Structure formats: structure tokens, C-alpha cells
């Protein structure tokens, strides 16, 4: 069993630290952000993810997981810090700082693994160069590998175990050693390659999803013009054995998919296709604002009830959420907005209760496909509203029921 020093106790780092420690490794979890280590020591988990609090508390109770503000000497260093993107460039400052913080404790025979999403070439160049300022060299003195996370927010604990992994090594021995570590808790297949290929694969997966969603969004726009129901059309097309089109929606949010495609451009040069994909998905919140304004035409001082501000269904994460952009866009046009979201913590966004939200509203606008919305009774909602209108940008509730309750229903991508 290894002693792992894991840097960055965020969405990926914390569950990974818990998993490694639950599988017998000694883990020192490091986070430099004020308060995180102190809160975790008291069992307060800052990340909202099903079952994570219980698993982290268990890991702390076993004593295998300990917490620290600074890295300690270990066999393996695992960096899971954020790599945001500003003005079309990857911000590697957190990764650089985390890597530099390892230098005082790095010793011969150690393995360093990067999990953060990075532009291809970062591990073999930026990280390696920084680590070699210690006087040690890779792979002669220390080993180096890249192992991207692939988990879906909302299903992290399951996917961290079940998903296949791709591990890139600075040399085959580094990849094999990293594979051995992950094998202790990963049940999915583990494939090995070199660092830059693994970095490329990670970004390609998210860029592919972005492209597929942009295609669905483009189809939604065209279907509206052709008076076709895009949802039915996509479902029918997906019966073809080699077609798998994703779902249109109010835009692409989260901390990964809207960001990662830019890492490809950063590393490999411009791509008109990727720029277009980003532009199509980034234009969706404005399209939804236009759809709502059209619906509200002729109403003085209109009010809408927005359902769902998280970036996607059944999570409470607001990062890059297209719903937040829609809310701001509507407010900018003088529309009164009351938002209801059962998943988002109330200190992170101005939220109303369901009752307050629909009171005297002129439309309900569904922006996130939270499961709960399916079970809300349109009859009781309609009774509180000034006008019975539903705009569903996710196609996620039973429209027949809403129509029966007297609502005019508009669905993104369904031509009328
Ligand atoms: N979305 C649509 N239509 C769809 C699917 C998604 O509009 O058919 C929207 C969502 O509402 C959301 C955005 O796209 O706003 C992204 O959501 P997502 O569920 O596609 O992905 P993430 O960002 O939650 O997680 C992705 C996953 N990547 C892939 O599926 C290729 C996950 O496996 C990665 O680990 C994660 O990015 C990451 O951390 O990179």
C-alpha cells in the first residue's frame, strides 16, 4: 500500500482521496484554500455530491485519510487542482503552484501523477520541467504520469470506481505504476499510453460531447423553422444503429465542457470547427431569452418563474450555468424573475420557494431538468399564476398534463 499525498481537495481530489484511503492507502489530503482543511477535519464537506459526506467521514474515521495545508513526504503525489480558462488560455497557475509545493519533499523513487485537465503537452513539458528544478530527473529519478478524471458530477462516487481510465506515462514504467495504484479501487478497464496522448484523449471526449450538443442545438433552431418537433426527430434518428444525437437545451455549462475545447486550440492551434461549436452553444442562453420575451409580448411589467438555475439536472452546481445567463438576460430586459432550484444552496443564488416563485408569474420557464419538476402539479401552480404559460427548454415534464391544466406550452426546438 502506498502513501499518497493528494493536492487539491475539490470535486475530484476529495472523492479520490476518500476512495484511496478506503482501499487501504495512507492518504494526506492537501488544500491551500483557507477553511477547507479545518472544515473537513470537523466532518464538514464543502462539495455537494451524493454520499460523499458519509464516505469522507468514514475515511477520516479509519485514520487512513489525514489533512494538511502543505505537502508531506510520500511515495506518490497526485495533483487534482483546478485549471480554469481565461481569455482563450489555460490558467495553469494552480497546477504550477501545486507542483512547486511538492519540490521540498520530492525524493528519488517517487511517482507524480497529474489528474487536472490540461492542454496536451503540459505534463511532459511544464510539470516535468518544474519538478526537475529539484535536481531530480524523470524518469531516471522520479516517475511521472497523467491520469485524467472522467466522472460525471452527480454520479462521482459510482463513476470513479466503474469508469474505464486512460493513463499516460512519461515512460511505460511510470504508467504501469500509476495503473497499479488506480487498480486498487477502479473496476473499469485501465489503458496505458504516453502523457500527451492521455491529455489529448481527455479533452477530445469533452470536445466531442460539446460538438454533439451543438449539433442538437442547431437542429432545434432549424426544426423550429420547419415546424418539426426536434425531440421526436432526434429520438427517431437515434434508432439508426450508428446515430446517437444528444439533447438540445439552453446552453452548455459546467466547469469542463465549455472550457476544455479551448485547451485543444491552446495547444494545437486554431480550429474553426471548435470555435463554431463553442459559438453555437454559447448563443443558446440568448435564444432562450428571445423565446421568453416573445412569449411575454404585450404584458406590462412581466414576471417569470424560473425553475432550475444549476448547470444541469439533479446537481446544485452553478459554474458556467446557462440558466444564470438567461436569468441575467431577462432581468436586463426588465422582466421580473423569481427562481426556484431545490438543488442549489440558497446562499449561492437568490432563490424563492416554489410557492413564492409562481405567485403572479406570467410564465414558468424550465431551464434545468431536475427530476423533482416532473412531480409538480400544474393545476396548483396554475392557480397561483397571473397567466398560464410554460416554456420548457429541456423537454422534461409531462406537457399533456400541463395543457390539460390550461397552460399554453412552448418547448425549445418544437416548431408550432
Ligand atoms: N447538455 C445538453 N444536452 C445533452 C447533454 C448535456 O445540453 O444532451 C448540457 C448539460 O445540461 C450541461 C452541459 O451540457 O449544461 C454539460 O453537462 P454534461 O452532463 O454533458 O457533462 P459534465 O460537464 O457534467 O461532465 C462532463 C463529462 N464528460 C463527458 O461526458 C464526455 C464527464 O464524464 C467528465 O468527467 C466531466 O465533463 C469533466 O470533469 O471533464
Q: Dump pLDDT digits (tens) for 303-345.
A: 999 999 999 999 999 999 999 999 999 999 999 999 999 999 9
Q: Which pLDDT does position 85 carry in this prediction?
A: 87
Largest CA distance in the chain: 74
Beta bridge partners of 181: none
User: Which of 320, 395, 307, 311 is CA-nearest to residue 351?
Assistant: 307
pLDDT at 34 exceeding the cut of 90: no
Q: Which pLDDT does position 416 carry in this prediction?
A: 74
- Listing DSSP states for 260-272 in one string gives HHHHHHHHH---H
Q: Which pLDDT does position 87 carry in this prediction?
A: 67
Q: Which pLDDT does position 86 carry in this prediction?
A: 80
Q: Decide if 293 contacts 361 (C-beta within 8 A).
A: no
pLDDT at 283 exceeding the cut of 70: yes
| Ligand 1 centroid, distance to 275 Cα (angstroms) | 18
Phi-psi region of 320 (alpha: psi -120 to 50; beta: other; left: phi over 0): left
| Ligand 1 centroid, distance to 387 Cα (angstroms) | 34
pLDDT band for 21, please (50, 70, 90 cuts). very high
Strand ranges in 42-123 using DSSP code E only, listed in sequence order: 65-68, 76-79, 85-86, 89-90, 111-114
Q: Decide if 17 contacts 59 (C-beta within 8 A).
A: yes
Q: Dump pLDDT digits (tens) for 122-170.
A: 999 999 999 999 999 999 999 999 999 999 999 999 999 999 999 999 9
First to last CA, the chain: 62
pLDDT averaged over the chain?
96
Angle between helix axes 195-226 and 230-237 (nearest 10 degrees) is 130
Q: Examine the residue annotation and report whether 202 is marked as an active-site residue of this protein.
A: yes
**Cα dist from 358 to 164, 249, 352, whole Å:** 44, 22, 9
Please state the atom number of ligand 1 nearest to the C-alpha of residue 311: 15
**Cα dist from 28 to 64, 68, 104, 342, whole Å:** 8, 7, 16, 34
Q: Do domains 3-202 and 284-411 have the same CATH topology?
A: yes
Q: Dump pLDDT digits (tens) for 368-386.
A: 999 999 999 999 999 999 9
pLDDT at 19 exceeding the cut of 70: yes
Ligand 1, residues at Cβ distance < 6 Å: 117, 149-153, 205-206, 209, 213, 246-247, 249, 252-254, 256-257, 311-312
Best substitution site from 207, 246, 254 to test ligand 1's pocket, by max atoms within 8 Å of Cβ? 254
Give the single-character DSSP code of 142. S
**pTM listed for this prediction:** 0.95
Q: Decide if 8 contacts 31 (C-beta within 8 A).
A: yes
Architecture of domain 3-202: 3-Layer(aba) Sandwich (3.40)
Q: Decide if 173 contacts 226 (C-beta within 8 A).
A: no
Q: Which pLDDT does position 148 carry in this prediction?
A: 97
Architecture of domain 284-411: 3-Layer(aba) Sandwich (3.40)
Residue carrying the nine cell digits 451524493: 50
Q: Which pLDDT does position 88 carry in this prediction?
A: 66
Q: What is the mean pLDDT of residues 17-44?
A: 95
Q: Examine the residue annotation and report whether 331 is marked as an active-site residue of this protein.
A: no
Of 202, 312, 388, 396, the catalytic one is 202
Domain ranges in the chain are: 3-202, 284-411
What are the φ/ψ torsions at residue 126 (nearest 5 degrees)? -60, -55
Q: Which pLDDT does position 151 carry in this prediction?
A: 95
3-state secondary structure of 143: strand
- Read off the C-alpha cell for 283: 448563443
Q: What is the mean pLDDT of residues 222-236?
A: 97
Amino acid at each position: 500500500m502506498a502513501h499518497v499525498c493528494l493536492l487539491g481537495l475539490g470535486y475530484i481530489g476529495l472523492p479520490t482521496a476518500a476512495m484511496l484511503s478506503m482501499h487501504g492507502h495512507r492518504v494526506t489530503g492537501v488544500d491551500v484554500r483557507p477553511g477547507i482543511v479545518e472544515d473537513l477535519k470537523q466532518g464538514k464537506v464543502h462539495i455537494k455530491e451524493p454520499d460523499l459526506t458519509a464516505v469522507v467521514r468514514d475515511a477520516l474515521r479509519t485514520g487512513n485519510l489525514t489533512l494538511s495545508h502543505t505537502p508531506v513526504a510520500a511515495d506518490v503525489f497526485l495533483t487534482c487542482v483546478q485549471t480554469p480558462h481565461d481569455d482563450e488560455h489555460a490558467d495553469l497557475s494552480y497546477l504550477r503552484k501545486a507542483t512547486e509545493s511538492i519540490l521540498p519533499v520530492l525524493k528519488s523513487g517517487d511517482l507524480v501523477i497529474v489528474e487536472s485537465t490540461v492542454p496536451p503537452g503540459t505534463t511532459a513539458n511544464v510539470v516535468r520541467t518544474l519538478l526537475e528544478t529539484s535536481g531530480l530527473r524523470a524518469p531516471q529519478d522520479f516517475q511521472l504520469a497523467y491520469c485524467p478524471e472522467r466522472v460525471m458530477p452527480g454520479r462521482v462516487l459510482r463513476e470513479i470506481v466503474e469508469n474505464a481510465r486512460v493513463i499516460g506515462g512519461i515512460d511505460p514504467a511510470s504508467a504501469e505504476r500509476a495503473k497499479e495504484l488506480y487498480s486498487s479501487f477502479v473496476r473499469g478497464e485501465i489503458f496505458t499510453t504516453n502523457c500527451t496522448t492521455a491529455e489529448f484523449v481527455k479533452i477530445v471526449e469533452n470536445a466531442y460531447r460539446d460538438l454533439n450538443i451543438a449539433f442538437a442545438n442547431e437542429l432545434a433552431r432549424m426544426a423550429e423553422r420547419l415546424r418539426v418537433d426536434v425531440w421526436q426527430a432526434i429520438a427517431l434518428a437515434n434508432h439508426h444503429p450508428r446515430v446517437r444525437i444528444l439533447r438540445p437545451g439552453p446552453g452548455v455549462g459546467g466547469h469542463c465542457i465549455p472550457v476544455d475545447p479551448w485547451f485543444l486550440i491552446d495547444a494545437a492551434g486554431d480550429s474553426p470547427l471548435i470555435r463554431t461549436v463553442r459559438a453555437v452553444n454559447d448563443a443558446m442562453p440568448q435564444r432562450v431569452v428571445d423565446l421568453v420575451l416573445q412569449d411575454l409580448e404585450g404584458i406590462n411589467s412581466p414576471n417569470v418563474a424560473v425553475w432550475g438555475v444549476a448547470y444541469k439536472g439533479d446537481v446544485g452546481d452553478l459554474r458556467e450555468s446557462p440558466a444564470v445567463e438567461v436569468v441575467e438576460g431577462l432581468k436586463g430586459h426588465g422582466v421580473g424573475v423569481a427562481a426556484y432550484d431545490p438543488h442549489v444552496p440558497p446562499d449561492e443564488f437568490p432563490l424563492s420557494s416554489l410557492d413564492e416563485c409562481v405567485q403572479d408569474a406570467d410564465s414558468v420557464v424550465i431551464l434545468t431538468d431536475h427530476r423533482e419538476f416532473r412531480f409538480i402539479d400544474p393545476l396548483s401552480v396554475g392557480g397561483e399564476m397571473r397567466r398560464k404559460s410554460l416554456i420548457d427548454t429541456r423537454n422534461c415534464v409531462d406537457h399533456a398534463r400541463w395543457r390539460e391544466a390550461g397552460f399554453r406550452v412552448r418547448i425549445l426546438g418544437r416548431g408550432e
